[in-house]
């Protein structure tokens, strides 16, 4: 436990020391919220769909967590590049603890960034329909971030350099994001797109957030949580498996 | 009374990358408390050997024990028994010197009350105690190396591995560093296994010297024995006699190239 805690703490400390990361954590979602929220929002409400910002906030929270947790893999690339990885690999500790401790740290900072988006959106007039559900919101963000941070550790384990990681990262992250229903409702999309979205675990995280925050759900919360739980197990296993074969 | 176990035993150690043999049937023993140098030209198999000794690479065949622990069977005990200073820095530069030490203590399961005193002793030894709360990214190359030595000693290792520890350091820092290492080896009976390209360091520090070339151990003995064997006067002359005068490829060894093509499949 102490090893996991220490490696978790390392990620937290590093996050709060990197002011640029905190600025980015505020700036990027704010840009998305304002540009999309007000840009598309007017068309959205003209089409009789109601308040787009309200619809968008849960999606942007999930997006922020997705991007931030994927960034954890970049931390592994830094550890490879700057040599710290070797210090952990020769230590008398299982590789799983090393992977999981760091991924939990990355997941925690990602969840915090997701909650920061909620805070920002309050200033844009967003109001969750039931504050009592906030702990469940944290749980869903936590599950998504643990799954994605483990996934990115797995990718960071076998990719050689930062350029390669960025390429894979973008190749995976953007489809996960754009094909998830984070930006549009899944009710009225063409069938093929709905099928793609239904195969995308990210859709269930977005849907759970939307259900909890504004009371609109496409799949229903039980199904969302079930898919998310399976995703966590699969991706943590993937991360642990790949990390066992990491080379410093 | 049972004899103290040998610090390192390597028996028929071999590492193949595809059809390329980086380390070929290498055997040697290192006594507890000994200062042992491994020399060899670039690409000779030094790094591969040290990676196998420190559990970063699994040997293709052969046996290896550290402080009596079989590296393949009792990996964690073997890992606890050594400290290492890598060729390239491996400290977390975004953390303070003290935090790097604390992290190491956690990884090696050192208990709370013990940590503070031990960290202070070691940071004082390498003259970094007054900089303990500074971020390591503000340190010079020599300071980072000293921090790594202090960190490598934190868990009282039986064996300290130093992979080209003085590369890129000025003469003052180099002398200082070898002073610590020799003192520690005497005071704590610690075994030191190091590689270097500076033959005068090997001559001044090591009790025994092994020379590896093309993956094979080609000589092993004291400076005296090696000069006698080659009928030369200095270690440098003996070394050149044994390994030839041709300049070796500075590019990554063939083992590295092979690994770049076939990733994974290393160790747990």
| Alpha carbons A189 and A218: distance in angstroms, whole number | 13
Domain membership of residue B142 (yes or no) is no
Beta-bridged to residue B15, according to DSSP, are: B23
| Alpha carbons B268 and B265: distance in angstroms, whole number | 9
Contact with chain A for residue B258, Cβ under 8 A: no
Q: Does B90 contact A95 at a Cβ distance shorter than 8 Å?
A: no
Find the distance separating the first CA and the last CA of chain B, reported in whole Å.
Answer: 36
A contacts of B55 (beta carbons < 8 Å): 90
B82-85 and B61-66 strand pairing: unpaired
| Alpha carbons B88 and B68: distance in angstroms, whole number | 28
- If we measure between CA atoms, which residue out of B259, B268, B267, B265 comes closest to residue B18? B259
Counted domains in chain B: 1
What residue numbers bound the domain in which A189 lies?
A: 2-244
pLDDT at A6: 95
pLDDT at B268: 43
Which residues, 6+ apart, have CB-to-CB distance to A245 below 8 Å?
Answer: A157, A158, B263, B264, B265, B266
B159-163 and B191-195 strand pairing: parallel
Q: Does A91 contact B94 at a Cβ distance shorter than 8 Å?
A: no
Contact with chain B for residue A94, Cβ under 8 A: yes
- If we measure between CA atoms, which residue out of A41, A22, A67, A24 comes closest to residue A124? A41
B contacts of A158 (beta carbons < 8 Å): 263-264
Shortest alpha-carbon distance between residue A233 and chain B (Å): 20
Contact with chain A for residue B106, Cβ under 8 A: yes
Contact with chain B for residue A19, Cβ under 8 A: no
pLDDT for A23-49, tens place per residue? Answer: 888 888 999 999 999 888 888 888 888
Alpha helices in chain A (DSSP H): 2-17, 19-39, 41-46, 52-81, 84-89, 95-123, 134-158, 162-178, 191-199, 201-214, 221-244
Total Cβ atoms within 10 A of residue B170: 12
Q: Does B268 contact A244 at a Cβ distance shorter than 8 Å?
A: yes
For the question of an ipTM over 0.95, the answer is no
CA B223, B228, B230, B236 torsion-angle sign = positive
Which residues, 6+ apart, have CB-to-CB distance to A137 below 8 Å?
Answer: A118, A128, A209, A212, A213
pLDDT at B125: 86
Domain membership of residue B123 (yes or no) is no
- Per-residue tens of pLDDT for chain B, all 268 residues: 455 679 999 999 999 998 899 999 999 999 999 999 999 988 889 989 999 999 999 999 999 999 999 998 999 999 999 999 998 889 999 999 999 999 999 999 998 888 999 999 999 988 999 999 999 999 998 899 999 999 999 999 999 999 998 887 888 888 888 988 888 888 888 999 999 989 999 999 999 999 999 999 999 999 999 999 889 888 888 999 888 877 776 555 555 665 555 544 444 4
The mean per-residue pLDDT over the stretch A38-65 comes to: 90
pLDDT at A58: 96
B contacts of A17 (beta carbons < 8 Å): 94
Instruction: List Cα–Cα distances, B116 to A61, A116, B99, B123, B248, in angstroms.
Output: 42, 37, 11, 11, 46
Which of A13, A91, A245 has its CB closest to that of B79? A91
Q: Does B99 contact A13 at a Cβ distance shorter than 8 Å?
A: yes
Q: Does A92 contact B109 at a Cβ distance shorter than 8 Å?
A: yes
Domain membership of residue B210 (yes or no) is yes
Structure-token pair, residue A28: 């990027």
Q: Does B54 contact A84 at a Cβ distance shorter than 8 Å?
A: no
Find the distance separating the first CA and the last CA of chain A, reported in whole Å.
Answer: 24
Structure-token pair, residue A64: 């922020």
Counted domains in chain A: 1
Domain membership of residue B23 (yes or no) is yes
Total Cβ atoms within 10 A of residue A21: 15
Residue with tokens 């604390």: B102
Shortest alpha-carbon distance between residue A98 and chain B (Å): 9
pLDDT for B24-42, tens place per residue? Answer: 999 999 999 999 999 998 8
Q: Does A245 contact B92 at a Cβ distance shorter than 8 Å?
A: no
Instruction: List Cα–Cα distances, B121 to B13, B104, B127, B257, in angstroms.
Output: 37, 15, 10, 42
What residue numbers bound the domain in which B26 lies?
A: 1-79+194-263
Domain membership of residue B125 (yes or no) is no
B contacts of A2 (beta carbons < 8 Å): 106, 109
Chain A to chain B, count of Cβ pairs less than 8 Å apart?
Answer: 82
Query: Domain holding B55: CATH number?
Result: 3.40.50.300
Shortest alpha-carbon distance between residue B51 and chain A (Å): 10
Q: Does A87 contact B107 at a Cβ distance shorter than 8 Å?
A: yes
| Alpha carbons A239 and A89: distance in angstroms, whole number | 16
* B243 and B40 Cβ atoms separated by less than 8 Å: yes
| Alpha carbons B52 and B46: distance in angstroms, whole number | 10
Q: Does B99 contact A88 at a Cβ distance shorter than 8 Å?
A: no
Question: Which of B55, B69, B90, B95 would you mutate first to test chain A, the one with the most A CBs within 10 A?
Answer: B90
């Amino acid at each position: 436990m102490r090893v996991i805690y220490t490696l978790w703490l390392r990620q937290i400390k590093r996050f709060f020391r990197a002011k640029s990361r905190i600025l980015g954590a505020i700036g990027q979602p704010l840009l998305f919220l304002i540009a999309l929220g007000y840009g598309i929002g007017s068309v959205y409400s003209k089409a009789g769909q109601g308040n787009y910002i309200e619809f968008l906030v849960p999606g942007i929270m999930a997006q922020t967590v997705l991007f931030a947790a994927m960034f954890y893999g970049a931390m592994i690339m830094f550890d490879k590049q700057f040599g710290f990885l070797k210090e952990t690999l020769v230590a008398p500790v299982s590789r799983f603890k090393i992977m999981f401790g760091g991924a939990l740290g990355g997941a925690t900072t990602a969840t915090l960034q997701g909650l920061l988006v909620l805070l920002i959106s309050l200033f844009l007039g967003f109001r969750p329909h039931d504050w009592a559900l906030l702990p469940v919101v944290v749980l869903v963000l936590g599950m998504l971030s643990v799954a994605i941070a483990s996934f990115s550790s797995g990718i960071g384990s076998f990719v050689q350099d930062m350029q390669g990681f960025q390429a894979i990262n973008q190749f995976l992250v953007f489809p996960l994001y754009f094909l998830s229903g984070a930006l549009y409702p899944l009710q009225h999309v063409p069938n093929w797109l709905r099928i793609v979205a239904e195969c995308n675990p990210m859709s269930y995280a977005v849907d759970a957030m939307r259900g909890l925050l504004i009371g609109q759900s496409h799949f229903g919360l039980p199904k969302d949580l079930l898919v998310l739980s399976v995703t966590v197990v699969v991706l943590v296993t993937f991360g642990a498996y790949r990390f066992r074969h990491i080379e410093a | 009374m049972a004899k103290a176990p040998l610090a390192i035993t390597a028996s028929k150690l071999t590492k193949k990358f595809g059809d390329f043999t980086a380390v070929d049937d290498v055997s040697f023993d290192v006594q507890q408390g000994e200062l042992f140098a491994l020399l060899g030209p670039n690409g000779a198999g030094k790094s591969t050997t040290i990676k196998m000794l420190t559990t970063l690479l699994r040997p293709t065949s052969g046996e290896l024990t550290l402080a009596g622990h079989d590296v393949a069977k009792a990996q964690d005990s073997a890992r606890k028994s050594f400290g290492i200073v890598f060729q390239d820095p491996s400290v977390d530069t975004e953390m303070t010197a003290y935090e790097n030490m604390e992290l190491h203590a956690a990884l090696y399961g050192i208990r709370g009350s013990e940590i503070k005193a031990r960290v202070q002793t070691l940071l004082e030894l390498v003259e970094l105690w007054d900089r303990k709360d500074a971020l390591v990214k503000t340190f010079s190359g020599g300071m980072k190396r000293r921090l790594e030595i202090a960190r490598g000693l934190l868990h009282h290792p039986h064996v300290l591995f130093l992979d080209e520890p003085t590369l890129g350091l000025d003469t003052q820092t180099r002398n200082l560093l070898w002073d610590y290492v020799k003192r520690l080896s005497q005071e704590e009976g610690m075994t030191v296994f190091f590689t270097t390209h500076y033959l005068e360091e090997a001559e001044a520090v090591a009790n025994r010297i092994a020379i590896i070339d093309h993956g094979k151990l080609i000589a092993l003995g004291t400076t005296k024995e090696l000069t006698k064997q080659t009928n030369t006067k200095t270690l440098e002359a003996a070394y050149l006699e044994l390994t030839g005068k041709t300049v070796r490829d500075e590019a990554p060894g063939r083992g590295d190239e092979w690994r770049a093509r076939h990733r994974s499949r290393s160790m747990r």
